Structure 1
Amino acid sequence: MEATSSSCPVMLVTQAITNLEKCKSMTELRQIHALMIKTNLVANTFAASKLVSFCCLSGGLDHAVSVFHRIQNPNPFIYFTLIKCFTDSSNPLESISLYAHMLTCLEDWKGVEFSLPSVLKACGKIKAFDEGQQVHGQILKTHFLFDPFVANSVIRMYLEFGRVEFARQVFDEMPERDVISWNSMITGYLREGDVELARGLFDEMPGRDLVSYNAMIDGYGKCGKCELAEEIFGMTSQKDVKTWTSMISAYLHNHYPKKALDMFREMLCLGIQPDAPALVSVLSAIADLGFIEEGKWIHAYISTKKIKMSNGFIGSALIDMYAKCGHLENAFHVFRSISHKRNIGDWNSMISGLAIHGLGTVALEVFHDMERMDIEPDEITFLGLLGACSHGGLVDEGQHCFKLMQEKYKIVPKVQHYGCIIDLLGRAGHLEDALGVLQNMPFEADVLAWKAILSASIKHENAAAGENAALRAIELAPEDSSCYVLLSNIYAKAGRWDDVAKIRSMMKQRTVGKIPGCSSILVKGKVHIFLVGKAMDENCTDEVLSKIKDVVSRLKFEGYEPDLTQVLLDVEEEGKESLLSLHSEKMALAFGLINTSHGAPIHIVKNLRICRDCHSFIKLVSRVYNRRIVVRDQNRFHHFENGFCSCKEYW
């Protein structure tokens, strides 16, 4: 670095500042520091404060602290610079300590208010409630509450603590509120799920900005009030990318993936460039729908725009989308293409993707690669691994993973992990062991744990355990129709028709509707949806029913016998066979056979678990009609080819 021969302090300071502004590395910064020591510029408060500031900006926090300790009389600005830097670091507690030190060292508190927002933010970050209240008390004794930056920081701090009532008290007592004050309170109420109070403040606001609208759209979406999110979206005359992303996320959160995809298309048509959260949301929507063409187009868009895969977990979302659309090779291709910059989300998406395809052994191999690369797994990693072991029947491996997460990685299992172990044991027929895990969990079992017992009981024909599990599940989730349906099925299999009638009556009284079976298939760029016995969007029902009749006749020559035990209604056998032929996946399959070229693969997405009869039926179709058929049901993928299924009868 160039030295100056001038003895003028002003010129020395100016030259030092100029050198700092040109500085590009910590090595150069240390050279400037050495020059400032040599010329005694470190005694100049302004020059020293700039040095501290540039150290912080360059990531040299330790160096900034060493400079600070050599300043004889640091002013509030120097304290502020270091306090702000610590607040944004991994050690925000130090900023609180530094603030307390400043108060004892300064003769007066002029300029202290500049540090208050950072100190309050630090208190919020580390949940230092007592210290935060002490700072608030100090503010109340001064004029600082009249500073909107300080007052808004107090509000945000209390909201970080989850003490919305304290924040509201500060808000109500503010001498003057700005739009940030209103938006902070609205966001705080929405975070707590209190949409009524949030909407009240929104309607009362003297002047809303785009942040206000976006917060309400996002809040309504997360609270399950999608129609109100649409209302706010419609009220917004000026929309930015956050507005569109919030609405797309609201649709996705409320299980309207097609609406999310349609809104994304509209956004692009208007020339609005999607941000990373928008792309992640639309990829999730496509994953929910299960059809690949749109996903490939989004992938091409990301590549064309040169958007980094690591940006906002886009790589993870692509892997997840391809896996859930049944294209594991594409998922692996994305996974391999980001090998040098994978984050934990990429690994988790790949493991979870393999899990839903029943490839437990491959998922474990990916996990071992992860370990060899010293990537620290998290709780989501083990949820994916346990799910993979469960779907693959890998009981010993699953139990080993459950032990490994606790002993090696010190991850405390949550109720979801216990649910996976219960499912793993139950699927494999170890029902007593599964019940033992459930009863010995360190917390109360949730509805998913009881539903895992219920499913295992039905699979392994333990009616007593199934009935008990169903009743417990209904008690925990009285709005979940599947629990009633499965209990009704247990009674129907036992011929307890009076009990079946009681369950139906209970559902009617509680206004719990049975979710209808629904299957969809993408043909020539259009999604076709089928319910039991009918098409939703086409005048093709008669043609499809006729095709099913032909297929059934042909399959019977090949040994197909309808599994009448899958019809749990008190009807004659002929009626049962007719009802079986109307299942939505058979309708979708028949439509695919009619409308796709011979030998072309058929992809079907079903919203419920595939029944045993449909499973046997589709296996035989794959051989007789020489088709590769992929069915994604509620739980996993089934790849049918040449009369075999990838699940190996384990689902």
Structure 2
Amino acid sequence: MLTPARKFFAGKTSQQHLLESQLFSKLDHCKNLTHIKSVHAQILRKGIDQCCYVLTKLIRVSTKLCVPVDEYPRSVFDQVRYPNPFLWTSLIRGYTAEGCLKRGVFLYDSMRSEGIGAVSFTFTALLKSCGDVGDVNLGMQLHARIIMDGGFQSDLFVGNTLIDMYVKCGFLECGRQVFDEMPDKDEISWTELIVAYTKSGDIFSAAQLFDESPVKDMVAWTSMVTGFAQNSMPREALNYFERMQNSGMETDEVTLIGVISACAQLGAAKYANWVRDIVEKSRFGPTHAVVLQSALVDMYSKCGCLDDAYNVFQAMTEKNVYSYSSMISGFAMHGRAQSAIKLFDEMVKNDVKPNRVTFIGVLTACSHGGMEEQGRKIFKSMEDDYGVTPSPDHYTCMVDLLGRVGHLNEALELIKKMPVKPHGGVWGALLGACRIHGNPEIAQIAASHLFELEPDSIGNYILMSHIFASAGMWEDASKIRKQMKEKGLIKNPASSMVESDKGVIHEFFSGDTSHPDTDKIKGTLVNLLQRLTMDGYQPMLSSLPYDLSNEEKKQILLTHSEKLALAFGLMNTSSDSNIRIVKNLRICEDCHLFMCGASKVTRRKIIVRDNMRFHHFCNGTCSCGNFW
């Protein structure tokens, strides 16, 4: 039975709890400093101005509303005679939130000197700030203090914040060590490290950790999908996205952008249609929808399905600069110059201001379409009419345009007058034009800059060697090949992918004999070669500037990856469908000629995407006009 005195204190405690609860509610509804001061006045009137519990809440609300610490929270803190660890920590958090890490650390030192022990939130506030400013040395000192003080090494929140701090400071392995030593881990622990590995490009460590993780949230799944896509591993990205779908996990805009990017890289129509269905079923709001639909336009364009890209574009209820730019770029990469120009004019009439990406697309279209005068006018209008300063990428388009029509000297002069330093793309465009027009003199100028800017890019050396060989300058060609050997440069294996009617993607490498249908593929190629020979085809042996016999060159050319992919496509796609091939390198002159002839004798449309552009082969001609 309670004595009268105990009843009095019990009642008082109950009343104080009620009062504190009411004050907390009022603080949660504060919108500015005036509101906070009003609640503080009530605290003073009620005589609980020494209550650390309530004042901690007041300072935290002040921090949330971006009230400068020295303007009010500090004076509140200074009036408390015996601040507890939580009140100290609230002020430390206030300073670190303002970016005043040094003042936060000074306050932490003062706290320790007064014999007040830290709480986990003290360390998480300071560590988070260390990560934000990249001060790993201070972070390590705090880490040492955590170990010395004891009691916090096994704290989940402290562990997660330590991982975050080390990752942000660029010390991923230290973050991994903290992770490995944590006795308990949650979704945040696993996801933080998975995301860190994907961002660093160590996608295999990320995948290993992901597969070991007992819990996988949407952020972790998305990180894996986007990580593989950003590391040019589209098949793996699609595989993880399919696993994500099967797990029942929700997808957001970021996930879908990542998988759309993977589809665009892979260039497979089957996956493109699958992803489009998922996007349409997701029912995102207008803002997200326009971003996703613009990405779908880009995806379909890169998959060689230009009509599907245009259908998505036309169906969009809202179009912005990204939508127009995606479609214009799509038309450009497929050689549909007139369509790109027409859409650009429509964009301007609809008061959608073009940006730098738009101009890259429309200038590329002018170049691919040989529209010299139109290209000159648009380039001049960039800064004059739209306030867009030409970048090296825009100059690359102009050099490509001038080079296409044979104005190599003018293209060189344009480069010399550039107000910004030309990058490899600019000189590469000039070198490519020199190959087409057989100008080894200007080619050497372009190559000398490329060898300096991109010393390890083997493609530049190969192209220069071809130019010398085509001009009969065998000694110079030999010197280039010798340079390649001395530098230890190794050409990336040429590969080509083709999609069967069933949507299965098959990849071939030059000289590949590993495919189970190799014998049938060889037979199809031999038969096709006979038909082409009867139609006048002769292999372009100059495509192989090596000291080999003509017969050896013919055998090597016949087993180029795109030819193997074409033969497989002829065997495994219906006669009324297009054959779509994606090659990782530039298509060689002989394969280009071969594809032209094949489209004529087989009466099939062949679409090849190399690392330069799309080639639409139809009835013996190519959309690129033999310039690529």
Please classify the TM superposition score into its range, dividing by the shorter chain length.
0.7 to 0.9
Q: What is the 5 A alignment of 1:484-499?
A: 484-497=461-474
Matched, 1:565 2:542: yes
SS at match of 1:351: helix
1:59 maps to which residue?
A: none
Question: How far apart, CA to CA, are the structure 2 residues paired with 1:82 and 1:404?
Answer: 51
Distance 1:201 1:66, change over 3 A: closer
- Mapped partners of 1:215, 1:488: distance in 2: 48
Note the 1:213-228 alignment, pairs <5 A. Answer: 213-228=190-205
How big is the shift at 1:384?
3.4
Aligned residue in 1 for 2:72: 102
Change in CA separation of 1:273 and 1:136 when aligned onto 2, cut-off 3 Å: same
Which of the numbers 307, 316, 331 marks the counterpart of 2:294?
316
- Using the TM superposition, give the Cα deviation of residue 322 of structure 1 relative to its aligned residue in structure 2, in angstroms: 1.0
Cα gap change, 1:70/1:426 in structure 2, threshold over 3 Å: closer, same or farther?
farther
What are the equivalent positions in structure 2 for 1:469-484 lying under 5 Å apart? 469-484=446-461
Indicate the residue corresponding to 1:517 in structure 2. 494
What CA distance in whole angstroms lies between the structure 2 residues aligned with 1:112 and 1:408? Answer: 58
Name 1:295's counterpart in structure 2: 272
Deviation at 1:494, TM superposition (A): 4.2
1:152 and 2:124 aligned: yes
Matched AA of 1:452: A
Partner-residue secondary structure (3-state), 1:534: coil
Match in the other structure for 2:6:
none
Match of 1:530 in 2: 508
Residues 489 and 568 in structure 1, CA contact (< 8 A), matched pair in contact too: yes
Aligned-residue offset at 1:293: 0.9
Of the three residues 303, 307, 311, the one matched with 1:329 is 307
Structure 1 Cα separation of the partners of residues 247 and 26 of structure 2: 51
Q: Partner letter of residue 84 of structure 1?
A: K
Q: Are the equivalent residues in 1 in contact too, given 2:494–2:561 (CA < 8 A)?
A: yes
Pick one of 391, 415, 420 that aligns with 2:368: 391
Secondary structure (helix, strand or coil) at the match of 1:316 reads: helix
Q: 1:339 is matched with which residue?
A: 317
Residues 399-548 of structure 1 correspond to what in structure 2 (within 5 A)? 399-406=376-383, 410-411=387-388, 413-441=390-418, 444-497=421-474, 500=477, 503-523=480-500, 524-536=502-514, 538-548=515-525
Q: Which amino acid aligns with 1:279?
A: L
Counterpart CA distance in 2 for 1:271 and 1:220 is 24
Measured at CA, do residues 118 and 435 of structure 1 come closer, stay the same or move farther in structure 2, by a change above 3 Å? farther
| Contact preservation (8 Å) 1:383, 1:416 | yes
Look up the SS of the partner of 2:607 in the other structure.
Answer: strand
Distance 2:415 2:619 in 1: 40
SS, match of residue 506 in structure 2:
strand
Is contact 1:631-1:638 (8 Å) kept?
Answer: yes
Contact 2:59–2:73 under 8 Å retained in 1: no
State the shift of 1:566 in Å. Answer: 1.9
Q: Kindly state the Cα deviation for residue 568 of structure 1 after the two structures are TM-superposed.
A: 1.6
State the SS of the aligned residue for 1:479. Answer: coil
Contact between 2:257 and 2:295, CA under 8 Å: does it hold in 1?
Answer: yes
- Looking at structure 2, the residues matched to 403 and 103 of structure 1 have their Cα atoms a distance apart, in angstroms, of 57
Q: Compute the TM-score of the two structures, normalised by the length of structure 1.
A: 0.76
Preserved CA contact (<8 Å) 1:52 1:78: no
Query: Is the Cα–Cα contact under 8 Å of residues 392 and 650 in structure 1 kept in the other structure?
Result: no
Distance in 2, matches of 1:450 and 1:168, equals 47
1:56-95 pair list within 5 angstroms: 81=61, 84-85=64-65, 95=66
Distance 2:34 2:386 in 1: 36
Contact 1:599 1:626 in 2 (8 A): no
CA contact (8 A) 1:139 1:145 kept: no
The amino acid of 1:283's aligned partner reads I
Give 2:309's aligned amino acid: A
Q: Distance in 2 between matches of 1:457 and 1:632?
A: 22
Amino acid of the structure 2 residue aligned with 1:152: T
**1:218–1:249 CA contact under 8 A, matched in 2:** no
Which of 264, 269, 272 is matched with 2:246 structurally? Answer: 269
Q: Which amino acid aligns with 1:532?
A: S
> After the TM superposition, which of the residue ranges 577-586 and 166-175 deviates more from structure 2?
166-175
Q: 2: CA distance between counterparts of 1:231 and 1:191?
A: 21
1:405–1:179 distance in 2 versus 1, CA, 3 Å: farther
2:169 and 2:367 mapped to 1: Cα distance? Answer: 35
Contact 2:132 2:168 in 1 (8 A): no
Q: Would the alpha carbon gap of residues 47 and 590 (structure 1) be closer, same or farther in structure 2, given more than 3 Å must change?
A: closer
Q: How far is 1:514 from its partner?
A: 0.8
Superposition deviation, residue 557 in structure 1? 3.1
Matches of 2:608 and 2:470, distance apart in 1: 26
Counterpart secondary structure, 2:72: helix
**Counterparts of 1:216 and 1:73, CA distance in 2:** 46
SS in structure 2 of the partner of residue 339 of structure 1: coil
Structure 1 residue 291: Cα displacement: 1.0
- Shift in Å, 1:406: 4.2
Matched to 2:369, the amino acid is G
**Would you say the 8 A contact 1:251–1:260 is kept in 2?**
yes
How far the C-alpha of 1:546 sits from its partner, in A, is 2.6
| 2:331–2:365 CA contact under 8 A, matched in 1 | yes
Q: Is the 8 A contact 2:89 2:121 kept in 1?
A: no
The worse-fitting range, judged by mean Cα deviation, of 233-242 and 153-162 is 153-162
The 8 Å contact of residues 360 and 391 in structure 1, kept in 2 or not, is answered as yes
- Give identity over the alignment, percent: 34
SS at match of 2:563: helix
Q: 1:152 to 1:602 in 2, by over 3 A?
A: same
- 5 Å-filtered alignment, 1:24-63, equals 52-53=30-31
Letter in 2 for 1:287: A
Structure 2 stretches lacking a partner, 5+ long:
1-21, 44-54, 81-86
1:113 offset after TM fit, Å?
6.1
Q: Which moved more, 1:137-146 or 1:400-409?
A: 137-146
| Counterpart residue type for residue 261 of structure 2 | S
- Paired positions, count: 579
Q: What is the Cα deviation at residue 290 of structure 1?
A: 0.7
Whole-Å Cα distance in 2 between the matches of residues 65 and 359 of structure 1?
Answer: 60
3-state SS, counterpart of residue 237 of structure 1: coil
Displacement of 1:296 in angstroms is 0.7
Partner of 2:220: 243
- Structure 2 residue aligned with 1:610, among 576, 580, 587? 587
The residue matched to 1:514 in structure 2 has which SS?
A: coil
The whole-number CA distance in structure 1 between the counterparts of 2:331 and 2:444 is: 32
CA distance in 2, matches of 1:140, 1:425: 67
Structure 1, residues 474-496: CA drift from partner, whole Å, max 9, x if none?
33334333223223323433445
For 2:255, the aligned partner's letter is A
Structure 1 residues 627, 107: CA separation in 2 closer, same or farther (over 3 Å shift)? Answer: closer
In the alignment, the residues of structure 1 paired with residue 537 and residue 69 of structure 2 have an alpha-carbon distance, to the nearest angstrom, of 79
Shift of 1:292: 0.6
Q: Distance in 2 between the 1:117 and 1:381 partners?
A: 45
Alignment partners' CA distance in 1, 2:198 and 2:339: 37
Structure 1 residues 464 and 179 mapped into 2: Cα distance closer, same or farther (>3 Å)? farther
Give the SS at the match of 1:568. Answer: coil
Listed as ranges, the gaps of 5+ residues in structure 1 are 1-43, 54-63, 86-94, 124-130
Give a deviation string over 1:382-419, Cα, whole Å, max 9, x none: 44344444433444554555555545555555544444
1-structure distance, mates of 2:563, 2:38: 80
